[in-house]
Chains A and B, each alone.
Chain A
């Protein structure tokens, strides 16, 4: 998938620019000071987006990959930047999300207002995250990826605590400490790889590496470190408070983009460094953790009173979704293949990045409008803040797999792969996952759409530009399935053909009604449904069942609380590392 050539290709300088432009923005914004940060950011954002678009254009003309040798030093001595289809897709996604968030935040983080600290930090950190992500997407060297990963962490952590309240500070500290644990595990693996093969270049490693014990230990350690940074269940202790505590624009970036950085490195490690090394058993284990994330994340999300926490837990569940593709990507000879399953996973990543960012922005507007974000207190939101509720709805539809969203296409691809490889159980998980997503989307919409007891008095009216930007992002996510993916990802499936069939409609209805049932059964809050007469009867009929389900849910929530304690989470981290290593040894 990555270019095997060890020389700079024609448009390679674009890769350099994609890193250098945001970095220059960071430096310039810092030097110019408080008053000009936003101006610098608004200059850099269009330039950076143009570069991402240029990469998209140039890539197909170069057989689908670009390479650039920094300083003209070929690996293993020097560092190469490389891009393939997946890099280009991620570059573009990042550019889009950053653009939207910048427009959304333009009014929130105005340097002219009395508080100059938050804008200063926000805009610089935004650009820094962009630089870090671009480096991750085009970096061709495991250590460069490590530096980029740290850059990402160091930019993300202060965003969490931007408001300076005690709980956000605590969340930021937990995030930082756990992320550091993850990156140090990654670094351990890097050291072993260098000791074994004398290079850290991904392409060279893919030629040299074999499934020997040292390499397996290294791969297990690195995988675990990246899982900790991606917050895959049960290593998610830091995610909910961090993503829920940050300002809306920051949450959108953190949830939509930042966790994808470490995930992307994980893909590079598994699919590029040594496809044959990471065995089938280990992939099953990863997917099992992902399934656990879907179930636990969704159930706990349904039990949250605060909307931002609900969305944060939904991120947890969606991250689990991303890992389902690992066991589906094996070919007949037991090697990981960069085929349809990987394409589905990446599509899922893109779809989640856009939809979740839009969702957080919408929730941020609702929070700003109501002055709180309790799920039970947003009745009437549909009338008071139609734009935000619509954004939430569209993003939710995209997430749960409504055609022609990216998630729907990804799901179809993965379902095909389950059929091909005969792993029917993952097909079940995929369907249930969609239903769970529908559950919390339906829950929130039911509250937002139901009429209020008294007229809603908004605390503040969010600016129209912010709302429109978020809506555009949600729409973008919902239309992903219509885009031509072939030049970048190996997708042969035609989404358009099944757009309006009976089959699609049935699937949609099953998902929505399943989700509604789950929402009624699992959410402990009084339902808007219960206020109508018919609803009351239904609620009465299912009361015993609902009590049992809520009991189960509370059990899951308690378990989640235990898992999110520091000692439990870090012990799980080590356990995951050891289990992964053991499974890899077994497979080889």
Chain B
């Protein structure tokens, strides 16, 4: 075994250990902490697999924001743990373990016996990069070759917002999402929330901009911006806007909306729906991405904030 393999085995072991902790630990709060750690470390695996775009997304959304959502719920649901139903009996657990292990084994087998010739689209993607003028192949796939998936996935995000908002009580409809955070304006938290967000904004926009040619893109940038906004909200320096705010709604549909408009433009004047004219491909895609980064940042932050709870 080479030293690199030793490292890989160690990384896999740490990640799996955290996964086991997350599943096995009796207390929910500890499990969510374990999951955040897991998510952040899985990003290392993605770097090792040479998929930096995914590593960025996993670190930002999978581990970071996703973990924080879970953590917030765990903190709010502490009292519910006692009333929750008891664990299934030992027999059920045994059967579940056997079956899960069989599925995992089947999957492992399927991976190990994948054919040697390894079909790939990587050369085709590289060969067609010229059509968009961007050097990052992942951005090309997301925005051009599989643009439909990306657009629909933005609609999924929007629907999630609708779904979360629809859980508000009728009284709070139109109000501000999430609990009100009040913190000492002279405290350390407020201090950090004054210093970090501007730098975070630069980093977020950099992430978006560099996504054209290097790993990065709208999701990653949006996630950074969202976390900075939330930081300011948690420190009591900002508040979530009321859900009836027209500006907010406009920003939430800007990304998919622009995507749709550009796509329809392609349908009317160009080759096909979502086909970009070669000369304008890069500016068009960047324009969509700028709109999307705003949409994503607002959506992610609002999803973390939750349903409307307070009157505006």
Contacts and interface: CB of A to CB of B under 8 A. Distances in A.
Given A69-B272, A71-B266, A218-B110, A571 B92 contact: yes
Contact of B147 (A71, A114, A115, A118): A71
B224 interface: no
Interface stretch (A262-270, A316-324, A528-536, A573-581): A573-581
Interface in A202-230: 213-214, 217-218, 221
A571 B275 contact: no
Contact of B163 (A157, A213, A575): A157
Interface stretch (B38-46, B71-79, B93-101, B183-191): B93-101
B114 A196 contact: yes
Contacts of B144: 71, 73
B249 A31 contact: yes
B166 A71 contact: no
Given A20-B260, A115-B170, A214-B114, A68 B272 contact: yes
A293 interface: no
B271 A198 contact: no
Nearest to B254: A31
A450 interface: no
Interface string B264-282: 1011000111111000000
A583 B277 CA distance: 50
Nearest to B157: A154
B294 interface: no
Contacts of B273: 13, 16, 20, 68, 70-71
B159 A128 contact: yes
Interface string A116-127: 111011001100
A117 B170 CA distance: 6
A147 B149 contact: yes
Interface in B214-248: 244, 246
B51 interface: no
A98 interface: no
Nearest to B152: A147
A125 B159 contact: yes
A78 interface: yes
A151 B152 contact: yes
Contacts of B169: 164
Interface stretch (B7-15, B57-65, B119-127): B119-127
A72 interface: yes
Contacts, number: 189
Interface stretch (A21-29, A408-416, A421-429): A21-29
Given A30-B253, A128-B155, A144 B106 contact: no
B232 to A, nearest CB: 25
B113 A213 contact: yes
A158 B167 contact: yes
A77 interface: yes
B174 to A, nearest CB: 7
Interface in A1-27: 8, 13, 16, 20, 23-24, 26-27
Nearest to A161: B167
Interface string B164-183: 01111110011000000000
A148 B151 CA distance: 11
Given A117-B170, A158-B167, A574-B100, A33 B272 contact: no
Contacts of B264: 20
A27 B256 CA distance: 8
Nearest to B87: A567
Nearest to A135: B152
Given A77-B124, A144-B148, A30 B252 contact: yes
B81 interface: no
Contacts of B114: 195-196, 214
B99 A578 contact: yes
A30 B148 contact: no
B271 A72 contact: yes
A188 interface: yes
A27 B257 contact: yes
A83 to B, nearest CB: 15
User: Which secondary structure characterizes the binding site on chain B?
Assistant: helix
B30 interface: no
B158 interface: yes
B152 A148 contact: yes
Contact of B156 (A68, A79, A151): A151
A71 B149 contact: no
B109 interface: yes
Contacts of B156: 147, 150-151, 154
B1 interface: no
B152 A8 contact: no
A34 interface: yes
B110 A567 contact: no
Contact of B155 (A121, A151, A221): A151
A197 B119 contact: yes
Given A121-B162, A218-B110, A71 B274 contact: yes
A27 B156 CA distance: 11
B149 A27 contact: no
A475 to B, nearest CB: 33
B160 interface: yes
Given A23-B155, A574-B100, A578-B99, A567 B88 contact: yes
A30 B162 contact: yes
Contacts of A570: 96
A162 interface: yes
A33 B121 contact: no
B150 to A, nearest CB: 9
A569 B162 CA distance: 29
A220 to B, nearest CB: 8
A162 to B, nearest CB: 7
A77 B145 contact: yes
A78 B102 CA distance: 35
Q: Which of A68, A69, A150, A214 counts the most B-chain CB atoms under 10 A from its CB?
A: A214
B206 interface: no
A161 B267 contact: no
Q: Which of B125, B152, B274 counts the most A-chain CB atoms under 10 A from its CB?
A: B152
A285 interface: no
Nearest to B250: A31
A131 interface: yes
B194 interface: no
Q: Which of B121, B162, B256 counts the most A-chain CB atoms under 10 A from its CB?
A: B162
Contacts of B96: 567, 570-571, 574
A70 B257 contact: no
Given A571-B95, A578-B102, A117 B267 contact: no
A79 B107 CA distance: 27
A118 B165 CA distance: 10
Contacts of B246: 33
Contacts of A577: 103
Contacts of A128: 155, 159, 162
Contacts of B250: 31
B211 interface: no
B260 A27 contact: yes
A155 B159 contact: yes
A485 interface: no
A76 interface: yes
A495 interface: no
Contacts of B249: 30-31, 33
Nearest to A567: B88
A527 B95 CA distance: 43
Contacts of A118: 166, 170
B272 A72 contact: yes
Given A34-B244, A571-B95, 13 more contacts: A26-B155, A26-B159, A71-B271, A117-B165, A117-B168, A120-B173, A121-B166, A135-B152, A147-B149, A158-B163, A198-B121, A213-B110, A217-B106
State the 8 A-B residue pairs at the shortest beta-carbon distance, nearest first.
A198-B119, A121-B166, A158-B163, A574-B99, A72-B272, A117-B173, A71-B274, A72-B271
13 contacts: A27-B158, A27-B256, A31-B257, A68-B272, A71-B276, A72-B271, A124-B162, A144-B146, A144-B152, A157-B163, A169-B167, A195-B114, A578-B103
